[in-house]
Amino acid sequence: MSSRPEVRFLDRSTPPHIITLVLMAGVAAMNMAAFLPSLPRMTVYFETDYSVMQLSVSLYLAATAILQLLIGPLSDRYGRRPIVLICFGIFIAASVGCMLAPNIEVFLAFRMLQGAVAVGLVLSRAIVRDMVPQNEAASMIGYVTMGMALVPMVAPMIGGALDQLFGWQATFVFLIASGIGVFALCYADQGETASGEGKSFAAQAREYPELLASRRFWGYVFSAAFASGAFFAFLGGAPLVASDVYGLSAFWAGFGFGAPAIGYATGNYISGRYSTRIGINRMIQAGALITSAGMVLALAISLAGYGSAVTFFGLCTFVGIGNGLIMPNATAGMLSVRPHLAGTASGLGSSILIGGGAVLSAFAGVALGWGATDVPLLIIMAISACLGFLSILFVVAREKRLAENGALPD
């Protein structure tokens, strides 16, 4: 029987509607992907190198990782609602700065400030965990992220079309309008869901060792981090693969970037439908296996000399499917280890996976300079996916050992 509280749309006295949670997370995901087709043209506009322009991805991810360390504890202290509204306000202002930037240095500074929109990713999940227990949270997060996946699926296509019709700045006009719309929706619909304890930061800091000492927490974090690492490496390297290796236009590159999102939507639908019945660990294992198999197959095809834009982007759909199975379930796992620190756990876990993604994204951009093929990128993605599979095997082994000893899960 569901234990979800009553929700009334556009009523701030009740928790936010699932539509609001989807759009909160969706704008955050869209901001990572919408301008990717424009990277080659922006490199020319700002008279810089692609490796410098690619910092708009890796520095953004690094800034997001740092901000998420603050977002979680701040929301545990002051509540989810005020932090969401403040961060979306910062995102809107930073997007205006990106659009008007006169040089690459100013653009990158405002691009990092755009990382405040990560509040949508962190707190949409923490809000779900505020509302429902672990397995049901995995299911609900699956539906939230399935809906969220539809946004980045079409965002690169929209960004590519806007770039070709009006120039790269038009993409940031689109982001500004989206940010304003979601800010207004959150203001009208997002009721507070935090416990109301309002613990001081000192009190939260005293509870950190309890969270950090959990081996299961780290197992879930790293299974998610390595899985998403394959996707973030894709974000960092795919624009160059599309333009320089396969000669795709911004418009068609946008379609290619939507391939993982199609898989992500599929994986999240499966998570939403079956996580409660099957269990989070088995879902994570299945997702990690699918991602690893897809990347190893893509690498083998490319090494054999049969690689193409179709095989590259098509098999990257497996990264999306795997992430769709892994992320909601691993997130529910890491938040449920210490439910009273859900916001902090969400921020810390997301920070680690985004920070790792920033490193892989930057490395992917550098590695592609070693040859005019997609092989370096596929190697990075395959290794990351396989490490994610090993991480969830650790969690399963740990839980089995604890069960055999009759101990409570750590």
User: Domain range spanning residue 147?
Assistant: 18-191+200-405
**Is 218 part of any domain?**
yes
- Report whether 310 contacts 260 (CB < 8 A): no
**Is 50 part of any domain?**
yes
**Is 9 part of any domain?**
no
Q: Is 163 left (phi over 0), alpha (psi -120 to 50) or beta?
A: alpha
More confident residue, 193 or 380: 380
**Is 64 part of any domain?**
yes
Mean pLDDT score across all residues of the chain = 83
The count of structural domains within the chain is 1
Say how many residues make up the chain: 410
**Is 323 part of any domain?**
yes
Q: 382 CB contacts (<8 Å, ≥6 apart)?
A: 230, 292, 295, 296, 298, 299
Taking alpha carbons only, the member of 106, 161, 122 closest to residue 25 is: 122
Q: What is the mean pLDDT of residues 33-45?
A: 86
**Is 6 part of any domain?**
no
pTM: 0.69
**Is 1 part of any domain?**
no
User: Residue 100 sits in a domain of what CATH number?
Assistant: 1.20.1250.20
Model confidence pLDDT, tens digit, residues 21-33: 888 888 888 888 7
**Is 12 part of any domain?**
no
Q: What is the mean pLDDT of residues 6-22?
A: 82
